[in-house]
Structure 1
Amino acid sequence: MKPCRLPVLALIATLLLGSGLSWAQQPQYGGTLRIALAGDLTFFNAHQGPAPGYFTFWVWNNIFNSLLTITPPPELKIVPELAKAWEVRDDGKTYIFHLEQGVKFHDGTDFDAYAAKWNFDRILDPEVKSWVRPYYEEIDQVEAIDAYTLRIRMREPSGALPIALAGYFQGVPMASPRSFETHGKDWVRHPTGTGPYKLTEWIPGKHVILEKNPQYFKTGLPYLDTLEFRVMKDPLTASAALRTGEIDFIARVPIQQVLVLEKTPGIQVVTGPEMAPTVAFLNMRVKPFDDVRARRAVGGYGLDRAEIAKVAFHGRAKPLVSILAPGVPDAIDLNELYPYRPDEAKRLLKELGFDEKNPLKFTILVGNHDVTLADIATLIKNQMAKIGVEAKINLLDATAVVDRVLVKHDFEMVVSNWANLVDINMRSVSFFKGRQSDYMGIDDPNLEAMVYQWRRTMDPEARKRISADMQRLIADQLYWVNATTYPFFQAHRRQVKNYPFYNQAYFFLEQVWLEK
């Protein structure tokens, strides 16, 4: 089979047309992009451990590269990155990646097939407890054929590997093995990738500074000299700073500030397809949520999703039952499964032994990085009261939520925005019992088998049918509780040019420049 390559002219067209850049507006080099983050950073583990949370992930998007990457939605096309070309052999059982030559890690060591193999081996090592390992468990062997050729052998045919490496949380971010040796356990504070920027300063609670990588392998990139990520937890402060020019970019804008910034001259608010949910997870490790009747009462019939969409998001969200938001390929509408029926919720709770004398009680965990989420938690608390459930709210710092939910799985219900997806398999990272990313305690061998079937299947229509079956099963059992879609907004000053909007998925800044 011929190698998969992206022609030079097509790459130029992607860079120019995909970003709206015109020949009359040539990029300008230099300057500092000042970015507001609503939460502090956690750890730069390159997926070699628990999930880091979005704020850290968005920063490391500019420190690390993967073998492949993806174009912004709605195209979502897989394109080369550290692998300049790749081949698929043996009907999807063997993948050959031809790597870029002359690429250096930020510590001056070589990126090559041996370094790539080290990163894959770390992700696949059960002792590392990588949260993305479920994507890659069908890998049988990773081999460095020579310095610039990597071969991956699968246990069975799979068409899912390229999209996983390109579109699932930046695939396997390539980190320097030398950095791991040098810093030991503290290496998560010293991220060393091949990306367009390298970390030069990190003061927790204050800021992170990234400086231009002069040895970046993509010719002519990046344009900016410095990225300054400022921790600004108060959305009103961040909004005011953007309007006065103290900062240039807000990475996540709550809906309340969207309504203000949309009317502000010199500010551009950006959004895209509905690809992410607002979740109200129920932890099935905690009684009574191990019983589907409790999940259907609380996360099904007891949730007034229409009210949440209308009140919390000012009508800019939609009620959502399916695990996939409507903008995700192959999503199906399952809202009819759980209409708002408080009487049915009460009946199910009574079956479980809960009533006025013995009410169900639980705590809603919510982060303080988006005031909308706290509003949703309050709405859910009030909706629970209508079915005789006593819910209390525990508002925590975003980093504490990462620790409680993503690391320790210590919660009863958590209200949060969640990842936007490119397909059902991207969410399957949470479907495998006992894995680091099994946040809710799912234990369903049938669902796991359906995931493997999806990955083996090459025909798009057959995959679509499997995806629909998975969505129906998950909704029926309410393994995953969504409340609404999550309309994601970012905002920047108009002198910020060529920004590629990936929704929440990525925050790539190598092509961004400042008009002077």
Structure 2
Amino acid sequence: MTILREALWRIGDTSRRAGLSIVSAAALGISVAGYAHAADLYGPVADSPKMGGTLNMGLLLEPPGLDPFHQAADARIRVTVLVYQGLFYEAADGEAVPLLAESYEVSEDGKTYTIKLRSGVKFHTGKEMTAEDVKYSYDYVRNAENGSPGAGDFSVIESIDVVDPLTVRFNLSEPNASLLMALGNKYAGVIPAGYFDDESAKTRMNNESVGTGPYKLVEFNPNSNILLEKNADYWEEGAPYLDEINFAILPNSASMLVALRNERIDLVSLARPQDVQQIEGIEGIEIERFPSLNQKSIDLGLELAPLDDVRVRQAIALAVDKDEIMEAAIGGYGKVIGTIVAGLQDRWGVPLDALPVQGVDIEKAKALLAEAGHADGFSLTLTTINGYDWMDPAAVTLKEQLAKIGVDLDIQKVDLGVWINNFRSRQMGFTFNDWATQPDPNLLYYRHFHKQPAGSDFRNWNNEEASELLDKGRSEADYEARRAIYNDFQMLLAESAPTIMMFSSDHLIVRNQAVKNYVQHPTGWYYGLARAYLDR
């Protein structure tokens, strides 16, 4: 029997439940999903889990590497959140919950954070974690010379002091309302002090792990699998439940569906609705739908003419029918967005009907192109990424839409590693993008859209007013004032259109019925595997 259900969690419900609430988001009036209680790190604690066993999870996207400090790909983050940990956990409801931290205090001026660490935490190497390791790890990632894509998230840190073996102090140049969320483990896992002194350290992260997470790396075989095993020295008693997680890397959805039917795969996240529809009704398989903090977008790199002309970008935005692209790409399994991911819309977003340059207006788009000197149109190359199946039908649909305003679109597919290099070198051109955020607007916007050097400004927007708003939003602690700042930023983002956020896709999780207690985090990262177990 196949069960298709929309799994959401009631925010603020302090009861601890292993089960899922089968209830619609509209009925609850919420769009950000959280666990039953934020203290349930990684997901809901199971009442009586069956311990042991190997869970086989399918991966359609292979991580380019497993280095959490230098590798920006979301495909990497999904896996390494199980291996490396930061001081805080990114709870789905927007709360930063102590993880390797035990408690913290903030000074009255908001510029000093004193953090007490958990005692008895061991690295996968067997060494016990101390404040020296924490200082080293965050000093490393915040130093832009070390090449971490997360350096901008920590640019307000002036210094880190070791107070005692289990206490660190972060000294900031200015208040940062999202610091604790940034001290998670997207780009900031705590590792042993001095680890990167060895020139081979970055490469070794593909063969061995030095984190503190519930699982540690056994092997990474490109084009084959990633094997993780239970960390026997993990600091949380009783966790994790599984002995091993084997991530099987398969080349396409067709092979993944065969593996699901043959029970060689226990769990997989699928992106295409047509794939889900093929396995509906199969005995022993369940299909679940989870809301997300993900976005599918079109990025318009201003380093490429004529995208450096705001009129051209606005014309393209007015030619894009987001609903049509979403239907082609993922069916109805998502939500059209404006300038913020669906999971943050209610709390932080400007209503879509209040944003400028939204909706389809072909005549206005043609007029803007004529005004910009392109009355006869022009040719443009769209870059898509191999393995991101939604991009193929979306690209065909976008090509048809832009043809209506005289833009001839050539579609070029590249491997993820090539795309990441273009992204980090700010040579994005005209491309589809697919990325998730932590549940805070600063972490969504700052690194991507703030001008250099404080931000990475991947699209070469270099917008002074936008950068000033992002600075204000990051330092403002009051929610209402902060929301007003980010609303102003979104109006500017929509008007200037360095990116066109199209839709947030739901997470479609397909699992064998033997897989119990798996909850998909809205980022798309596989935190929930630390709470999953096998009943067979």
TM-score using structure 2 length: 0.86
Q: Is 1:402 aligned with 2:420?
A: yes
The answer to whether the 8 A contact 1:46-1:173 is kept is yes
Could you say which residue in structure 2 is the equivalent of 1:36? 58
For structure 1, which segment, 8-17 or 317-326, has the greater mean C-alpha deviation from structure 2 after superposition? 8-17
Report the 3-state secondary structure (helix = DSSP H, G, I; strand = E; otherwise coil) of the residue aligned with 1:483.
strand
Could you say which residue in structure 2 is the equivalent of 1:165? 183
Could you say which residue in structure 2 is the equivalent of 1:482? 501
For structure 1, which segment, 366-375 or 205-214, has the greater mean C-alpha deviation from structure 2 after superposition? 366-375
**Distance in 2 between the 1:484 and 1:126 partners?**
32
Could you say which residue in structure 2 is the equivalent of 1:247? 265
Of the three residues 500, 503, 510, the one matched with 2:519 is 500
Could you say which residue in structure 1 is the equivalent of 2:158? 140
Structure 1 residue 473 displacement after superposition: 1.0
- Runs of 5+ consecutive residues of structure 1 not aligned to the other structure: 1-7
The answer to whether the 8 A contact 2:178-2:440 is kept is no
For structure 1, which segment, 464-473 or 182-191, has the greater mean C-alpha deviation from structure 2 after superposition? 182-191
For each residue in 1:73-106, what CA deviation from the matched residue of structure 2 results, as whole angstroms up to 9, or x when unmatched?
A: 3x34322211111111233111111111122211
**Distance in 2 between the 1:250 and 1:68 partners?**
27
The answer to whether the 8 A contact 1:253-1:488 is kept is yes
**Distance in 1 between the 2:343 and 2:522 partners?**
14
Could you say which residue in structure 2 is the equivalent of 1:27? 49
Residues 1:274 and 1:432: Cα distance change in structure 2 (over 3 Å): same
For each residue in 1:55-80, what CA deviation from the matched residue of structure 2 results, as whole angstroms up to 9, or x when unmatched?
A: 22111111101101133x3x343222
The answer to whether the 8 A contact 1:376-1:415 is kept is no
The answer to whether the 8 A contact 1:374-1:395 is kept is no
Residues 1:447 and 1:46: Cα distance change in structure 2 (over 3 Å): same
The answer to whether the 8 A contact 2:132-2:193 is kept is no
Of the three residues 469, 472, 476, the one matched with 1:450 is 469
The answer to whether the 8 A contact 1:39-1:399 is kept is no
Aligned length: 497
For structure 1, which segment, 244-253 or 469-478, has the greater mean C-alpha deviation from structure 2 after superposition? 244-253
Residues 1:130 and 1:432: Cα distance change in structure 2 (over 3 Å): farther
Q: Percent identity over the alignment?
A: 27
Q: Is 1:470 aligned with 2:489?
A: yes
**Distance in 1 between the 2:217 and 2:111 partners?**
38
Letter in 1 for 2:117: L
**Distance in 1 between the 2:41 and 2:140 partners?**
38
The answer to whether the 8 A contact 2:68-2:186 is kept is no
Report the 3-state secondary structure (helix = DSSP H, G, I; strand = E; otherwise coil) of the residue aligned with 1:371.
coil
For structure 1, which segment, 331-340 or 227-236, has the greater mean C-alpha deviation from structure 2 after superposition? 331-340
Structure 1 residue 18 displacement after superposition: 9.5
For each residue in 1:354-409, what CA deviation from the matched residue of structure 2 results, as whole angstroms up to 9, or x when unmatched?
A: 233xx31111111122322111011111111111111111122333333333x333
Structure 1 residue 9 displacement after superposition: 10
Could you say which residue in structure 2 is the equivalent of 1:345? 365
**Distance in 2 between the 1:88 and 1:297 partners?**
47
Could you say which residue in structure 1 is the equivalent of 2:408? 390
**Distance in 1 between the 2:401 and 2:16 partners?**
52
**Distance in 2 between the 1:68 and 1:56 partners?**
19
Report the 3-state secondary structure (helix = DSSP H, G, I; strand = E; otherwise coil) of the residue aligned with 2:203.
helix
The answer to whether the 8 A contact 1:191-1:199 is kept is yes
Could you say which residue in structure 1 is the equivalent of 2:221? 203
Matches within 5 A, 1:252-401: 252-298=270-316, 300-325=317-342, 327-328=344-345, 329-335=347-353, 337=356, 338-356=358-376, 359-401=377-419
Report the 3-state secondary structure (helix = DSSP H, G, I; strand = E; otherwise coil) of the residue aligned with 2:109.
helix
**Distance in 2 between the 1:263 and 1:471 partners?**
43
Report the 3-state secondary structure (helix = DSSP H, G, I; strand = E; otherwise coil) of the residue aligned with 2:307.
coil
Q: Is 1:117 aligned with 2:135?
A: yes
The answer to whether the 8 A contact 1:174-1:194 is kept is yes
**C-alpha root-mean-square deviation of aligned residues, in Å?**
2.5
Q: Is 1:59 aligned with 2:76?
A: no
Report the 3-state secondary structure (helix = DSSP H, G, I; strand = E; otherwise coil) of the residue aligned with 1:290.
coil
**Distance in 2 between the 1:492 and 1:46 partners?**
27
Report the 3-state secondary structure (helix = DSSP H, G, I; strand = E; otherwise coil) of the residue aligned with 1:286.
coil
For each residue in 1:137-161, what CA deviation from the matched residue of structure 2 results, as whole angstroms up to 9, or x when unmatched?
A: 1111111111110100111233321
Letter in 1 for 2:130: D
Residues 1:57 and 1:275: Cα distance change in structure 2 (over 3 Å): closer
**Distance in 1 between the 2:235 and 2:41 partners?**
22
Matches within 5 A, 1:63-142: 63-71=83-91, 73=92, 75-142=93-160
**Distance in 1 between the 2:219 and 2:94 partners?**
33
Letter in 2 for 1:463: R
The answer to whether the 8 A contact 1:255-1:372 is kept is no
Structure 1 residue 244 displacement after superposition: 2.0
**Distance in 1 between the 2:328 and 2:238 partners?**
46
